[in-house]
Structure 1
Amino acid sequence: MKKSDTLEVKVERTLSTTPEKAYRAWLNPKTKGTPWNIGEKLLLTPKVNGFFYWLVSGTPHYGRFTKLKAGQQAQYTWMSPYTEGQESTVTVTFKKAGENTLMTLLHTDLPNSSKGKAHIEGWNEFLDVFPKQFVKTAKKKK
């Protein structure tokens, strides 16, 4: 596939936590706002060359972890019917930004089609929920 035939999706969020905690949470299927938290079936092995299979709303997604740098980056391949048979790459980085963490999700090599563009909405939906896991609730004084 030529570069002009591909699409890149970049989504950023500021999280009220450390890069280390955000990284661990992203790879934890119990954490809301991650792809691993919803669906009918999940097989997840978050280690380099470890595979994942995720079935959500009857649609299979699968890939292989290619880079994992604790507290900094998770990178994995991503395939589904929405990648039209092409292997794409998701890179999630976590960088300290003052007292917060800047989380950047970059999904590359998507087909430049309506199916590829569906990832824009999909990743934004996840990343609208994920930061809420780190909001500190104030305790009421009695």
Structure 2
Amino acid sequence: MDVAPIRPPDLSARPFFLVAERIMAASPVELYRMATQQFGLWFADPGSVLMRAEVNQPFFFTAGGGVPHYGRFLRLVPDGLVELSWVTHATEGAETVLTVEFSAHGAGTALLLTHAGFPSAAVRDRHEKSWPRILERWDHRAAATV
């Protein structure tokens, strides 16, 4: 069976992006697993996740009490990187690209998140305020599962 090459979204008309960094207590292995197999433990509404962590596979979940999120996996590097496209009402329907990189940092992980392709500075700014809270929740949930 031939597999079509992955075509990432064209972000050239949507140049707004953000970067968030955090030192996480959990290992890259644990965070990668939570990002690819346990989305319902730290981000998505429990029971709403339809996701298979394979490149070019679509996913769906709800978060925040039923808000739909859609996308597909673009790149996966076990214990090192998760990149996916991301569409929700908060991106105003724009297909954005979320890249999360994990690298060992002592007993934990240096996490670098890049979220690109926002249609405006206002949409980017709203996400820029949200991601630190989300990463903090992820860090606390990861520590609770170890």
TM-score category, normalised to shorter length = 0.7 to 0.9
- Count of matched residue pairs: 133
User: What SS does the aligned partner of 1:17 have?
Assistant: coil
Of 81, 86, 93, 1:78 maps to 86
Partner deviation per Cα, 1:21-59 (whole Å, 9 max, x = no partner): 221122213432xx23x2673221221111111223343
In 1, Cα distance between equivalents of 2:143 and 2:26: 8
In 1, Cα distance between equivalents of 2:40 and 2:68: 19
Partner deviation per Cα, 1:101-127 (whole Å, 9 max, x = no partner): 101111011122433322122222210
Query: What TM-score, normalized to structure 2?
Result: 0.76
Please report how far the alpha carbon of residue 64 of structure 1 lies from its aligned counterpart in structure 2 after TM superposition: 0.4
2:41 equivalent in structure 1: 31
Partner deviation per Cα, 1:80-104 (whole Å, 9 max, x = no partner): 1222332110001100123321011
1:119 equivalent in structure 2: 127
User: What SS does the aligned partner of 2:75 have?
Assistant: strand
Q: Are 2:65 and 1:55 aligned? A: no
**Unmatched tracts of structure 1, length 5 or more:** 137-142
Q: Do the aligned residues in 2 keep the contact of 1:39 with 1:54 (CA within 8 Å)?
A: no
Superposed, which structure 2 residues align to 1:99-138 within 5 Å? 99-135=107-143
1:20 equivalent in structure 2: 29
Which protein is bigger by CA-based radius of gyration? 1
23-32 vs 41-50, which deviates more?
23-32
Q: Do the aligned residues in 2 keep the contact of 1:90 with 1:107 (CA within 8 Å)?
A: yes
Q: CA RMSD in A?
A: 2.5
In 2, Cα distance between equivalents of 1:70 and 1:20: 8
1:139 equivalent in structure 2: none
User: What SS does the aligned partner of 1:79 have?
Assistant: strand
Q: Do the aligned residues in 2 keep the contact of 1:93 with 1:104 (CA within 8 Å)?
A: yes
Identity across the alignment (%): 25
2:19 equivalent in structure 1: 10
